[in-house]
Amino acid sequence: MERATFSLLFYIRRTKLNRHGEAPILIRITVNGVRADASIKKTILPQLWDADKGRALDKKREGKELNLYLDAIYMRILKIQRDLEIEGANVTASKVLDRYLGKRGFVDRSLFDVFREHNDKCKKLVGISMAAATAQRYETTLQHTQDFVWDTYRKKFFFLSEMSQQFVEDYMFWLLTKKGCSHNTSTKYLKNFKKIILLSLAKGWLKKDPFAEYKFTLEAVDRDFLEDSEIQKILSKEIAISRLVQVRDTFIFCCFTGLAFSDVKQLKQEDIVEDSNGVKWIRKERQKTKIICNIPLRDITLQILKKYENNPQCVIKGVLLPILCNQKMNAYLKELGDICGINKTITTHTARHTFATYALANGVSMESVAKMLGHTNLQMTRHYARTLDRTVVKELFQIKDNFVMTN
């Protein structure tokens, strides 16, 4: 059988500019003089396109990256043509294009394009149905995925049709070794990545689930919390630096309310209510879960709120406490722990663990703690449960000792 003549080029349609003045980029496959054309879902300013080369001008980073993408499509279509020849099929331009586009007429999507579209939507949902921290985690996961693909495959682009279980396993290994992430952190990144895979499967862009045989596991972590003596150390320490005083007060407030950093940062006057018995409560929707948390305010928390009611920063922002960003808070908490002689890793989340641990240890029911923490189920609350040494001693010595030593 005489081998078919085959050519492939990229061109732009200058008569179909979008509102930004950009022209769509199309691909043309020609087999034995018969052509088939399709859009690759990319656009470019006409003055940045080199018609002779069928590529973008590569003087800027955007042009270089677009050309890498075009090269990846070029190699993908050449592979399709070779596969059809090996299968003994009658190679035509439409057959090559159909296999590239898929049965439903869509382009073999780039993993990073799908990821970027997803993340852009997440950014728009921040403050509506998504926490800013969640959107940022997806951004971090995208960056890690791009770094992994470059380190492993030396590619700037990766197509969904190339996805496999081996990719998932290698990605996990890369996160653990090259990135130095813990097992649980690596697993969380992989779970974020899985959402993109599930989205692609639902859209029909991916035929086989690379996670089908992959099992997620999380290792048990015994998170630090503060003993009451350590809390007292922090409360009693004379601190001359105003920023550390503010960080100390915010941390103590969270120790006695269990509020997460994202929630205490946005705490406003309307979140404080008073019941018929004169008890003041925090009644606030958690940013992460959208569950209402109900937390009675104790004397020490009321004192802290009173202290900052006229704070200029709070008045301007309309919040009750002067909160720094989470990264700075954690840095200053480390400094605070050092000057107080506390040999533990103290973060903003340590306060939440401290609150839950002591509430449970002092007889507060799991259901009540879950309600105060704004958890959606008790399993989440059980992660915070701790058995304190003093509880063990107290319960052990309640057992009557009937043994007598004779010699």
**87-129 tens-digit pLDDT:** 777 788 888 888 888 754 445 688 999 999 999 999 999 878 8
* Mean pLDDT of all residues belonging to the chain: 88
Q: ∠184-257-386 over CA atoms, to 5°? A: 50
Position 1 pLDDT exceeds 70 = no
d(CA 155, CA 137): 23
Give yes or no for a contact between 321 and 336, defined as CB atoms under 8 angstroms apart.
Answer: no
* Residues listed for the chain: 407
E-assigned strand segments in 300-347? none
Q: Which two tokens stand for residue 391?
A: 């509880």
How far from each other are the two terminal CA atoms of the chain, in whole angstroms?
104
Which range is most confident: 145-149, 343-347, 384-388, 389-393? Answer: 145-149
Looking from the CA of 256 toward its CB, the CA atoms found within 13 Å total 20
pLDDT in tens, 209-241: 999 999 998 887 777 889 889 999 999 999 999
Burial class (CB in 10 A: 0-12, 13-18, 19+), 61: exposed
What CATH class does 228-393 carry?
mainly alpha
> What confidence category does residue 398 fall into, taking pLDDT thresholds of 50, 70 and 90?
low
